[in-house]
């Protein structure tokens, strides 16, 4: 492979060195592909001072993580809003002394009439 020598780390991660002994390509432990060393971010305690995951895999992980957190945040907001609406609905039903099912049916009927 163009004068490159393949070797493996103790953990079995493949890497390639040039004639000068410099690590020029590494295997990503996430996607399993071989990438140039420049495709890996710096990590002080990593093999050859590189992270074990390539930049692309790290980007995908961070994106998925952030999307998950945003969804959890939105779900939490929705739950808080639902609790507040339920609290106000129950308080109003108690105030006007009408059972909740009837009040809900009236509200739905009015909304249908208004927006149909």
- Per residue in 30-51, pLDDT (tens digit) is 999 999 999 999 999 999 999 9
Instruction: Profile the chain (116 residues) by mean pLDDT over runs of 10 residues.
Output: 85 93 95 96 94 97 96 89 84 83 84 84
Q: Show Cβ contacts of residue 25 under 8 Å, excluding neighbours closer than 6 positions.
A: 4, 15, 16, 34, 35, 36, 37
Return the number of other C-beta atoms located less than 10 Å from residue 103's C-beta: 15
Whole-model pTM: value is 0.65
pLDDT at 1: 54
């Amino acid at each position: 492979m163009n004068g490159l020598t393949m070797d493996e780390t103790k953990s079995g991660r493949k890497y390639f060195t040039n004639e000068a002994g410099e690590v020029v390509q590494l295997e990503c432990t996430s996607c399993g592909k071989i990438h140039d060393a420049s495709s890996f971010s710096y990590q002080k305690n990593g093999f050859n001072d590189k992270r074990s995951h390539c930049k692309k895999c790290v980007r995908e992980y961070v994106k998925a993580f952030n999307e998950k957190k945003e969804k959890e945040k939105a779900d939490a907001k929705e739950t808080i809003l639902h609790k507040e609406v339920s609290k106000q609905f129950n308080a109003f039903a108690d105030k006007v002394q009408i059972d909740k099912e009837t009040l809900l049916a009236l509200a739905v009927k009015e909304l249908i009439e208004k927006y149909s």
